[in-house]
Amino acid sequence: MNLRLKAAALGAALVFALPMAQAKNFRMALGDAQGGTQWELGTKFAELFKAKTGGKHKVKMFANGQLGSEQDTINDAAIGSLDFSVLAINNITPFSPTVGVMTLPYVIQSLDDAVKLTRGDVGKELTENTIRDARVRIIGWAYSGFRVLTNSKRPVKTLADLDGLVIRVPKNEIMIATYQAWGINPTPMAWSETFTALQQGVVDGQDNPYITNHAMKFYEVQKYITNIRYIFSLEPLVISEDVFQSQKPEVQKAILEAGHEATLHSEAFIKASESDIKKELQAKGMEISDPANDEKEWIEKATTAVWPKYYDSIGGKDKLDNVLKVLGR
């Protein structure tokens, strides 16, 4: 278990002496603002969960980091002071490193790949690992699309075009290492600080899926989009494992069923909406470019430098080999 969580877990028994099984209202944290895939997944889950429990159990949503950073919500869920959280998968990786296999650059190359991994044996194993490592259980997935690069300075098509740009990234080692492989040192920064940093010119750019760029109104502070496909953004819905175990069997069943059905909804949502969102961003003045030469230079640099560096943390090279085999590669 992560060291930060060990100390927190010591007080868990005291917390769960309280009558949590009787709770009628649950809290769900979301890192993103309303309108994105996190919100879509969370609201669909809340609707389904309420229906499946005959209206007895409700979920209140707290969007846009109201309950703290996404990594903070994992700590809070680990000790049972928060019920649910929807967050970017890279913010679970520090607590449960094997999840990092999903964020290695260019492993997931399509929505179909993402679905196959999250809803198959790989996803089941990662769920077991997060319960063990972080005391949270993955019960659903938001499919947000590829993290595309945005910036306020110029079109970027080649790695050489990155030179001199200050790019914000999450505090995630794999993503930092990827940009370093591309020849620049990115700026790790909390999500809650990102819009203001872009607005004030502290950083020039960032990467996120189209739908997140739209929901966060980054078109107000960014001009250019590079359609890179280095990470497919997965945003799991997690529940505190202690909260889950404190529920009656029929409530646990409702939670799992609602999570599965909300996941199916998220897949349909991104398929139906991403194309229109791209058009809206262009209508608001953003210019979209594709990376040169089918992104070959970006892919070669990232996979050669980053994959071997993280074999140990994801559980060994064989874990990556198995994922690639599942994907038919």
- 3-class DSSP state of 86: strand
**Alpha-carbon span 1 to 183, nearest angstrom:** 34
Average pLDDT over residues 13-41: 74
Instruction: Note the CATH number of domain 3-12+21-144+234-275.
Output: 3.40.190.170
- Please say whether the beta carbons of 310 and 107 come within 8 A: no
Q: What is the dihedral of CA 205, 208, 213, 215, to 10 degrees?
A: -140
- 3-class DSSP state of 136: strand
- Please say whether the beta carbons of 2 and 134 come within 8 A: yes
Average pLDDT over residues 266-275: 96
- Banded model confidence at residue 2, pLDDT cuts 50, 70, 90: low
- Banded model confidence at residue 265, pLDDT cuts 50, 70, 90: very high
Residue 277, H or E segment:
helix 249-283
DSSP state of 107: S
In this prediction, residue 35 carries a pLDDT of: 87
On the question of pLDDT at 302 being above 50, the answer is yes
Q: Which residue has the higher pLDDT, 20 or 186?
A: 186
On the question of pLDDT at 34 being above 60, the answer is yes
20-34, 36-50, 285-299, 301-315: least confident range: 20-34
The H-assigned helical ranges of the chain are 3-10, 12-15, 37-52, 70-78, 111-118, 121-134, 173-181, 194-200, 210-215, 241-245, 249-283, 296-306, 317-326
Domain ranges of the chain: 3-12+21-144+234-275, 148-231+279-326
Q: Please give the CATH topology (third level) of the domain spanning 148-231+279-326.
A: D-Maltodextrin-Binding Protein; domain 2 (3.40.190)
On the question of pLDDT at 66 being above 70, the answer is yes
In this prediction, residue 1 carries a pLDDT of: 55
On the question of pLDDT at 15 being above 50, the answer is no
Query: Hey, what amino acid is at 68?
Result: G
In this prediction, residue 14 carries a pLDDT of: 41
Output the average pLDDT for the chain. 93
pLDDT digits (tens, 9 = 90+) for 105-133: 999 999 999 999 999 999 999 999 999 99
On the question of pLDDT at 275 being above 50, the answer is yes
Query: Hey, what amino acid is at 296?
Result: K
Q: Which residue has the higher pLDDT, 11 or 30?
A: 30
Average pLDDT over residues 136-142: 98
Q: Do 148-231+279-326 and 3-12+21-144+234-275 fall under one CATH topology?
A: yes
In this prediction, residue 24 carries a pLDDT of: 72
Average pLDDT over residues 252-265: 98
- Banded model confidence at residue 3, pLDDT cuts 50, 70, 90: very low
Beta strands in 194-269 (DSSP E): 205-208, 224-226, 232-240
pTM score, whole prediction? 0.88
